[in-house]
A and B are shown apart, each in its own frame.
Chain A
Amino acid sequence: MRTWVTIAVSVALGLALGYGVGFVTSSAQAIFEMSAMTKAEPSYDAFTTVFRGVGRLAGAEVVAGFCRKPKNDPLASEDDAIRAIQNRAAAADLNPPLDVARARLAMRRAILAEKNNDLQLKSQYEETARQLLQKSGWEDPSPAHMRQIVTKLDTDGNTCGPSEAKGAQ
């Protein structure tokens, strides 16, 4: 009787350990595969690179919209993701409106500059946003309009309340 119990315990222990290791391995692999987590490998085809780049851009945008300042710089990640998309979009036969993404990024930087009382830098970023939106055919390319949109995006994404979003970038 005791022998059978020991056998059962040994097998059960092995099963539990194996299951745990297997689960953790595949989970780690899945997390690594998530587009928002890692940069695209050079070996990826053009579409996959764009797909992962857009995912990373989305992830960085969510973090950039947080009211509390995150530890890493999501705006640098956005810039990086936009470049990655730009580099392979044509090869994937895609032409996403990246100037709109750049204008949104410039507006976020303008808000940050305003928070740091650097009004000259703020004006520079606002002008960049205006030019990009004008190039994109916007009927109202004004920085004030883009700022409203950024605030709305953050509120819609539930990353920041409307009153907080105005000045908490």
Chain B
Amino acid sequence: MKRIVKYGLLTLAGLLIGFPLGYWHGQRTVGEGGKIFSQTLALSEYETLADLQYKQADPVHGTEAQLDLLNFMRQLQATQEIALPRSLDYDQARVLMHLALLEEQAGYSEGFQRYLHQAQESLNHSDHRWYSEKQMRKFIAQSDTRSQY
């Protein structure tokens, strides 16, 4: 009887040590995966709707949707730990380039330069490289042709 209690206590001790280890590992793997999944899903949906507006609607509605998407991304950065920060920088650069092109279309070169600079900064943050205006135009053209809706 005494032996059973002794081994039972040892098993319980193992269980108490094992639980936090398993919990921690679950958070590091499934938890992190879940965070990536949730953020990617929400961002991709918001981007799809805003990009549809950018491509299909008039410039006023397009600008409104892109500014709102940028606001969503910035609030996300402020409130959550970003699982894929480089990806978010890239996405922000895309939005900023869309805004730059909309400003250019409207004839506001100052606004174009301002958004272009912000887009360059965003890509610089993820790639540690400074892209020229020509490279940024190529980047957004390539990125936009990938989604043709």
List chain A positions with a Cβ less than 8 A from chain B: 6-7, 10-27, 29-31, 33-36, 47-48, 50-52, 54-55, 57-59, 61, 92-98, 100-101, 133, 136-140, 149, 152-153, 156
Contact = CB atoms under 8 A, between A and B. Distances in A.
A58 to B, nearest CB: 4
Nearest to A46: B75
Q: Which of B11, B31, B79 has the most CB of A within 10 A?
A: B11
B79 A27 contact: no
A57 B49 CA distance: 11
B18 A30 contact: no
Contacts of A96: 46, 49-50, 65, 68-69, 72
B82 interface: no
A24 B21 CA distance: 12
Q: Which of A24, A101, A137 has the most CB of B within 10 A?
A: A137
A61 B49 contact: no
A36 B40 CA distance: 11
Interface string B2-42: 00000110111111111111111111001101110110011
Nearest to B11: A14
Interface residues of B, number: 56
Contacts of A149: 52, 56, 149
B106 interface: no
A26 B11 contact: no
Contact of B21 (A13, A22, A34, A101): A22
Contacts of A26: 22-27, 30-31
Nearest to B27: A26
B34 A97 contact: no
Contacts of A11: 10-11, 13-14
A11 B12 CA distance: 8
Nearest to B60: A137
A35 B43 CA distance: 12
Contacts of A95: 64, 68
14 contacts: A10-B7, A13-B14, A19-B18, A19-B21, A19-B25, A22-B24, A23-B30, A30-B31, A47-B79, A54-B41, A54-B46, A100-B52, A153-B48, A156-B149
